[in-house]
Amino acid sequence: MAKCVTGLNKIATFAVLALIHGPAVASTFSGELPVGYSDSLFQVGAGTSLLAIDISALGTRDPTLCASCNSTYTDNYTVSLFNQTGALLESVNETNYLYYNMYSSSHGIGAGPVFIAVPTGATTLEIQSQLYIAGLLDAGGLPLNFGGLTISSDGSITAATPFRPLSRFGYGPGCAGYAWLADQETEERRATGGGLKC
């Protein structure tokens, strides 16, 4: 059990150190991303050279799931950068996913941001997301129907698409959500006597 929490803490610490020791983080955006398809636009400030993008879904495991059934989220998304005339400068496909059940440790690549170099002249960032969540509940006990999008940059980043803030259900900027996830898994194991193994 302690190894799972320690592993998540190491990942969160690495992500924070990477941001601190890289170029100075001048701007961070956090907002809710709906389940299903979404297309989000952002204005990128002049001089921005690096983006750290993270999409995740944090919730409580649905207690009605069988012990061997997975709680999961998957997001296949495309990040595109355009210049002022609308010409595509760069496009990158990314995937974040995480799954676990009561008998196995967590598996996935959703435990940290993806770093993307911003080409010179980029003014618009587009993120096309296809988020899928199963077996996770929100704070009200309903199926989780949103994920968290966090973008950090060494320049300015401004949402051009309306977003709900990530203030609900334990999200916060940066890696605070990962500490919450580690705490939830620990509490869940205590409550159920479950054996997530690391």
pLDDT (0 to 100) of residue 57: 85
Helix, strand or coil for residue 102?
coil
* 68 burial via Cβ count (<10 Å: 0-12, 13-18, 19+): exposed
pLDDT (0 to 100) of residue 84: 94
pLDDT (0 to 100) of residue 118: 94
Residues 6+ away with beta carbon under 8 Å from 60: 136, 137, 138, 184, 188
pLDDT (0 to 100) of residue 88: 96
pLDDT (0 to 100) of residue 34: 92
Rounded to an integer, what distance in angstroms lies between the CA atom of residue 12 and that of residue 178?
7
Q: What is the 3-state secondary structure (H, E, C) of 128-181?
A: EEEEEEECEECCCCCECCEEEEEEEECCCEEECCCCCCCCCCCCCCCCHHHHHH
Rounded to an integer, what distance in angstroms lies between the CA atom of residue 152 and that of residue 28?
4
pLDDT (0 to 100) of residue 103: 81
pTM metric for this prediction? 0.69
In the chain, which residues have pLDDT < 70?
1-26, 106-112, 167-198
pLDDT (0 to 100) of residue 21: 41
pLDDT (0 to 100) of residue 107: 65
pLDDT (0 to 100) of residue 122: 95
Residues 6+ away with beta carbon under 8 Å from 123: 43, 44, 46, 82, 83, 84
